[in-house]
Amino acid sequence: MTATAIVDSLHCWPVKGFSGERLEHMDLRAHQPYAHDRLWAVERAGPLFDPDAPRHIPKGKFFQLVNTPRLAELKSRYDTESTRLTLLHEGREVASGALNTEEGRRTIEDFLADWLGELAPNRPRVVGIGTHHFFDVPKPFVSLINLETLAALGEVVGRPLEKERERFRANIYVRDLPAWAEAEWEGRTVLLNGKPAFIARERIGRCVATEVNPETGARDVVIPRTMLQELGHKDCGLYLEPIAGVTLRPGDTLQVAD
């Protein structure tokens, strides 16, 4: 058998571009992404999203740290049952609303419009229908990153990265796997605790969004360009497609068969 990875932590990012939630477990269905991941987004250029005809929209059309660094000052909390998003600034609640209601979306929009001011090119518009996912790629994937790879990448770019999980916004972080070894999983079946659970579909090419510090909003490290110069690629992480209904927990094992 190949080297075994241990699931270290699980994460969900309910609103694209905003802070995430750490999970105790992750329930997945075959050929589906995680049900609560990136279900909502906030348009900065539009309106573009049509709830009656949902489609993939390029990520730059939404508010994110890469185009709106001030978002780093906000922390968000999301309740999956009520769809209530709560925004906090310096630990204090500044806005809260259920995103499946017009009133709740308007509450969030009003706050962001006032708080961002001239930083918003248009009035912020919360979009989502509760089933469409605002992913960078329009496919039913979950994302995985190897913490050993992040440690090695940190040595390449000159800054420790293995503790900065929000910078890369993966769903699954694993440890105990040699750095870059996960790249060899591409195209293969991934076993969860010894049973087939995923296909490793493709490597994740990194963009300049990873250069933005999620705590400060500052661009404090050059990642894709340095990777291209030093490594000849800018891939870090894998997209996995679930092929069975499974539940992931920290401590679980992931590996591919020989």
Predicted confidence (pLDDT) per residue in 118-169, tens digit: 999 999 999 999 999 999 999 999 999 999 999 999 999 999 998 889 999 9
Q: Confidence class of residue 241 from pLDDT cuts 50, 70 and 90?
A: very high
The stretch 62-87 carries a mean pLDDT of 96
Question: Residue 86: in which H helix or E strand, if any?
Answer: strand 84-89
d(CA 159, CA 125): 35
- The gap from C-alpha 205 to its chain's centroid, in whole angstroms, comes to 13
Collapsing DSSP states into helix, strand and coil, what is residue 207?
A: coil
The CATH architecture assigned to 5-33+138-256 reads Beta Barrel (2.40)
Q: Helix or strand or coil: residue 184? A: helix
Q: Do residues 41 and 61 lie in contact, with contact meaning Cβ atoms separated by under 8 Å? A: no
Distance (Å) of CA 189 to CA 37, 60, 200, 203, 242: 23, 32, 6, 14, 10
pLDDT exceeds cutoff 60 at 1: no
Report which DSSP code applies to 165.
Answer: H
- The full set of domain ranges for the chain reads 5-33+138-256, 41-127
pLDDT at 258: 73
